[in-house]
């Protein structure tokens, strides 16, 4: 649903405004006016005004669009490097590596969840905001959801979905570039 559709819903199509327009139409009809024409003209006029006054946010960025693209590339790199760092063994090979502590998994997951929640705030700046929102929200659900599940239950059955969530997060960041 676009911004224009949202304004039309708020002003004309929701139950409260529909009731108010109906009451106004009945009053206008009693006064000898043609209420249906008035309502249609108001809806058409409002849509035209909204389209002129509120272009898509990515069009307002102009040359600053490059900053949003750079942020998308940086975010994707952060997710890729975070995944690499999470699986890289920083300890010497001869030591026994133990499984990750559930508290460490929780803290890492919570950090990724919070950072990507902030990234959702920037999604309207993307050229395709619904694509960006879908990718980041789906990635957060799969990646953070499975990691939270692992941290709380120590059950690894859902962990096979975690990489898919990570890839969706990477693609979400890259969607700022296109």
pLDDT digits (tens, 9 = 90+) for 59-85: 666 767 777 787 888 888 889 888 887
* 33 and 62 belong to one structural domain: no
C-alpha 147/C-alpha 83 separation (Å) is: 13
* 124 and 162 belong to one structural domain: yes
* 45 and 93 belong to one structural domain: no
Q: Does residue 8 register a pLDDT over 80?
A: no
* 39 and 98 belong to one structural domain: no
Higher-confidence residue of 104 and 50: namely: 104
* 129 and 171 belong to one structural domain: yes
Tell me the residue range of the domain where 79 lies.
Answer: 57-176
| Mean of per-residue pLDDT scores for the chain | 78
Instruction: Say what the pTM is.
Output: 0.60
* 130 and 162 belong to one structural domain: yes
* 63 and 41 belong to one structural domain: no
Higher-confidence residue of 50 and 88: namely: 88
* 45 and 63 belong to one structural domain: no
SS3 61: helix
Alpha helices (H) in the chain, listed in sequence order? 3-8, 15-30, 35-53, 57-61, 65-87, 102-122, 129-153, 162-174
Q: What is the tally of structural domains in the chain?
A: 2
Q: What is the per-residue pLDDT for 85?
A: 77
């Amino acid at each position: 649903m676009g911004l224009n559709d949202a304004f039309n819903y708020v002003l004309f199509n929701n139950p409260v405004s529909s009731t108010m327009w109906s009451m106004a139409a009945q009053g206008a009809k009693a006064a000898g006016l043609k209420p249906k024409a008035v309502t249609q003209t108001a809806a058409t006029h409002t849509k035209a005004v909204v389209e002129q006054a509120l272009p898509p946010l990515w069009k307002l960025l102009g040359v600053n669009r490059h900053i949003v693209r750079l942020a998308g590339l940086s975010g994707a790199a952060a997710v890729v490097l975070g995944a690499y760092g999470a699986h890289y063994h920083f300890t010497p090979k001869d030591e026994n590596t133990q499984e990750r502590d559930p508290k460490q998994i929780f803290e890492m997951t919570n950090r990724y969840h919070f950072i990507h929640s902030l990234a959702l705030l920037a999604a309207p700046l993307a050229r395709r905001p619904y694509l960006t929102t879908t990718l980041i929200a789906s990635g957060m659900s799969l990646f953070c959801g499975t990691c939270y599940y692992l941290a709380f239950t120590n059950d690894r059955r859902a962990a096979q979905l975690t990489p898919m969530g990570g890839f969706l997060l990477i693609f979400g960041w890259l969607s700022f570039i296109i």
